[in-house]
Structure 1
């Protein structure tokens, strides 16, 4: 598995990361350990979790279950030394019981979420809680999960810098953020000598989001252009296969089709997939791993062992220059 540099830190991390969101809830411990072991044995070390994973898995969950499961795996046979661990703060709702009640009533809980924010005290409590649940003395990367526009950036950045100086996190990152906000974060960090984000985690895939449907969580052309000029911040792409859209039996009914649907581009993916004997998801992931400007990390988040097995072949899948051009011209 290829490793590439995280920002300009000099630290090499597996370009393919393992999203651990569902581990400890939708994915049981035995299956989680099997995937973690296989990922590490293949040379992968980038593990991604968050303090909120995965409160929406059921009324018995409060968030932090993924971190607690990872603690068990990390403590086995020196696994901590094999892992680059990323976790997050600011994405945990403060009203989880209310959201569970909405779920049980058949209502969509997400419109009712009230996030914890990224105030200094929340950030400090967040890292301490994550370290305790993970059973480690530091994490490698600590993200602001949901950009908090109500809290002064100076307050958040100063608290994050404290965490880095204290050795509780090696690096910081930001997620679900607009390009102009990321630029402001970087500028304030530079002005004050604070730790600056070395990673920005956004949804990104081969299919482009339609104009007019831009979301804070997506990496559009503006952000890609920004990252080309600021290579000290790496793109970490989540949902790179858009919840299996590329292999959907009826893509136009897929939940992401209104945002990403492009029949011509999807046909190009399927054409290349036939040529190389792969699935559409594998081709989309291989395309992302092979892109160079800017290079990106990709997070896969399988729920089952079978899903894990179908994603892993993309690691060794190499598309020809002609195939990449065909995909780019069709997007």
Structure 2
């Protein structure tokens, strides 16, 4: 009896999982140092065990999670490929900064904030070379009242500060409640480079983890000036490798973060804007993880081309090669270079 039960539990663990889908943004601007994205989670579509990731890039990501007992904002940076550890340069007064481990290591920060579904928030990643051969990554979160919070700044061994491979995703890391739809909108995406030129990102390709099973549900679409993604729930939407085009807002964010966003109307996506210089903060002690939470970190080196079906005609833009984060619950998944196990919070 015990043996039969053990076999049944084992089969269930390998067959029940949740799919994750991604938007890979296309752009032509080189040497990107600033990456802005807005996020609005749909009401009643934010069960626990969901990661709504808005600002993804080659060496880290940023997003929000409906964890229990605290909803949280998350920002993570992976250690360098040669094993050099990321170091903490600043940890905000309301932030919990700690290391993470698993199939990859690095530093992350949790900001326990009771965000509300149906409300638009924003994430901003800024990079800067301060020490030769290293890059500082700063994560900022914009509240409903347009006030910004500097969550943390992490220093990674990286010779150039350019942000590449920009993407967003929705994921069910613990593969539970797969009958409940998880859905969010991502909108008004903008990037800026080292010379102060900016570009609005209006084109993205849809992709998802693989292999899929019959119970997997995923999809994406366009709501005027924003993209939406969903996973789980009753039905699929559109197929993998589809190109989506949203309407442009021409509302460039206030890169200086002076308490507002979308205050600048631009006709061209190469308008120069000014940088704000922030004061250097004292280093803070990194805390080690101690309390379990529902969180999943993904990074891999799997690359695939987006020869996508075009939904709307658009200008040709460069799309970074996809770097998929395969769900660890998927049997026969592609090999990953790095993967962070569910995090432990303070």
TM-score by length of 1: 0.29
Greater RCO (Cα-Cα under 8 Å, separation 6 or more): 2
Q: In proportion to residue count, which structure has more helix?
A: 1
Larger strand share, 1 or 2: 2
TM-score, normalising length from structure 2?
0.28
